[in-house]
């Protein structure tokens, strides 16, 4: 691992980290690691994601709407949610959606030690794998909170850390129209943040899907949106193919 440092200039340096899952490129800006917020793409692909930590009342309806519009999404699941709703986890996977970890207990992970972070990610990934039989390769930090230690530990474990570039703010109790209006600005390469149990997400999804599909956008899971080799992540969190 090699860093270039110039004493009088704040510079952007790309650090190549080779882990068990292959090559990972993380961007350094003044020694700061950056997760993926969006992906530079020209093929009109976009990703919608659902964080699940509390409640599952609307998850079946979300799956139904996704199926109706031929949308494949990514669900980031907290381990205690996985333990409480194992049948729903199995169904999410069976319907072809991607599942990433959202930690084990939903803590503020920038305050944890490397050992505690490792435990959170190992335990939650195992819980998902035990139900789905599918390895976990994506991680979303609770609260969007991260630091260098968190991203480095995740990278070393073969997990790509994923944020978002379009926030639905659905958790704030916005109406379906307000949620859809926020999300309809999405363009190719954006990662959309939603939650599985927010008040009006089920009613908002048809508006979102119809509007973005009319713009020519294709919904794919995050794992198909991001690059897995020959890339770098700039200081703003944009993943760019080299």
210-213: list long-range contacts, CB under 8 Å, 24+ apart.
Answer: 210/69, 211/180, 211/184, 212/46, 212/183, 212/184, 212/186, 213/69
Q: How far apart are CA 234 and CA 35, in angstroms?
A: 9
For the record, the structure tokens of 170 come out as: 């659905």
| 97 included as an active-site residue | no
For the record, the structure tokens of 184 come out as: 């309809």
Contact between 226 and 36 (Cβ < 8 Å): yes
Pairing assessment for the beta strands 32-34 and 160-161 based on DSSP bridges? unpaired
Spell out the residues 6+ positions from residue 63 whose beta carbon is closer than 8 angstroms to its own. 91, 92, 95, 97
| 200 included as an active-site residue | no
Exposure of 180 by Cβ count < 10 A (0-12 exposed, 13-18 middle, 19+ buried)? buried
| β strands within the chain, DSSP E | 12-19, 22-29, 32-34, 38-39, 45-52, 74-77, 98-101, 138-139, 160-161, 166-167, 191-195, 218-219, 231-233, 238-241
Q: Which of 97, 106, 195, 200 is catalytic?
A: 195
Task: Report the DSSP beta bridge partners of residue 218.
Answer: 45
- Residues marked active site are found at 51, 195
């Amino acid at each position: 691992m090699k860093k270039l440092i110039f004493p009088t200039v704040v510079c952007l340096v790309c650090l190549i980290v080779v882990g068990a899952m292959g090559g990972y490129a993380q961007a350094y800006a003044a020694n700061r690691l950056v997760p993926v917020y969006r992906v530079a793409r020209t093929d009109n692909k976009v990703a919608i994601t659902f964080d699940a930590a509390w409640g599952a009342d609307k998850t079946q309806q979300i799956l139904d709407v996704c199926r109706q519009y031929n949308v494949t999404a990514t669900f980031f699941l907290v381990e205690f949610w996985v333990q409480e709703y194992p049948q729903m986890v199995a169904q999410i996977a069976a319907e072809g959606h991607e599942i990433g970890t959202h930690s084990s207990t939903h803590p503020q992970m920038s305050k944890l030690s490397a050992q505690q972070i490792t435990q959170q990610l190992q335990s939650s990934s195992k819980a998902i794998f035990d139900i789905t039989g599918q390895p976990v390769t994506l991680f979303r930090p609770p609260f969007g909170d991260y630091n260098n230690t968190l991203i480095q530990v995740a990278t070393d474990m073969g997990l790509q850390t994923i944020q978002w570039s379009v926030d639905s703010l659905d958790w704030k109790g916005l109406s379906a129209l307000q949620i859809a209006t926020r999300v309809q600005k999405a363009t190719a390469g954006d990662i959309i943040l939603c939650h599985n149990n927010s008040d009006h997400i089920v009613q908002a999804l048809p508006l979102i899907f119809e509007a973005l599909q009319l713009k020519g956008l294709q919904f794919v899971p995050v794992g198909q949106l991001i690059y897995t080799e020959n890339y770098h992540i700039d200081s703003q969190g944009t993943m760019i193919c080299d």
